[in-house]
Amino acid sequence: MPSGGLFADTPAASDAGAAPASVQEVPHFHHHRQRLRQRFLAAGPDSVSDYEMLELVLFRAIPRRDVKPLAKQLLARFGDFNAVISAPPSRLAEVTGAGEAVICELKIVEAAAHRLARSRVLHRPVITSWGQLMDYCKTAMAHRETEQFRILFLDRKNVLIADEEQARGTVDHVPVYPREVVKRALELNASALILVHNHPSGDPTPSQADIDMTRQIERAAKAVGLVIHDHVVVGKQADASFRSLGLL
């Protein structure tokens, strides 16, 4: 065949050292993923930054793309790792690249964190696990964008027997009905309650509405022999105890 034939100018024919067409180049982020996983396993979670922790989560959702830019976008939008995994799906979807698979992975991590924290306090005396109880409340509520009111139900030995969300509200208000609180406590055969709600603003200082609502619940509870141990307001960085503030 003449030297100027059909295949003479193709890379496979003209470049003697070229790799076979079937061999694909390893993506530049492949080794980064391996190194990051190895560092995480060898040195623990404190060895990785927030965006690297997000990368580890996103690897499963996006197996064939560099996820570092998306991790940094999510942090820029929401602030930190906790805020990212706690963000509502509708807001996560506003970030370019955060599709259904990404949102699902983030919500799985959030649910796992809540379940783990809850398992450490459920069916245990609150007196000996108060720190873990507050950690659980912060994990579940501190980064929510709307108010949530939860009730922790205790038995006669102050063992946590149930933890339930009573109501959801807006960014600065949540409707709570004392009669419903008492009714549920009686259904569970509870002897005492701890009330918990969050302030999306981040400031845990109780409002006058919080104080009035707590007193209404306290009066309804006393009428049937229930004790209100505390009402805790959870903020993003701190919490406030009605008992410590002399409001109960």
CB atoms within 10 A of CB 87: 25
In angstroms, how far is CA 129 from the centroid of its own chain? 21
pLDDT higher than threshold 90 for residue 100: yes
Mean pLDDT of 217-223: 94
Asked if 231 and 242 touch (Cβ cutoff 8 Å), the reply is yes
**CATH node for 120-241:** 3.40.140.10
Instruction: Tell me the H-state helices in the chain.
Output: 11-14, 28-43, 50-61, 68-78, 81-86, 89-92, 100-119, 130-141, 178-187, 208-223
**pLDDT attached to residue 135:** 86
Asked if 238 and 201 touch (Cβ cutoff 8 Å), the reply is no
Distance in angstroms (rounded) separating the CA atoms of residues 58 and 68 = 9
The percent of residues in the chain predicted with pLDDT above 70, rounded, is: 85
Asked if 220 and 179 touch (Cβ cutoff 8 Å), the reply is yes
Task: Report the predicted TM-score, pTM, of the whole model to 2 decimal places.
Answer: 0.68
CA gyration radius, the chain: 27
pLDDT tens-place string over residues 141-197:
888 888 888 999 999 999 999 988 886 655 555 678 889 999 999 999 999 999 999
With a CB cutoff of 8 Å and minimum separation 6, the contacts of 186 are 224
pLDDT higher than threshold 50 for residue 204: yes
The residue ranges of every structural domain in the chain are: 28-114, 120-241
**pLDDT attached to residue 143:** 81
Backbone conformation region of residue 124, classed left if phi is above 0, alpha if psi is from -120 to 50, else beta: beta
Confidence of residue 64 (pLDDT cuts 50, 70, 90): confident
pLDDT tens-place string over residues 115-135:
888 888 888 888 777 888 888
CA distances from 40 to 48, 57, 69, 105, 140 (A): 7, 12, 20, 18, 25
187 vs 64, residue with greater confidence:
187
Task: Name the residue type at position 233.
Answer: V
| Placement of tokens 């139900």 in the chain | 153
**pLDDT attached to residue 171:** 54
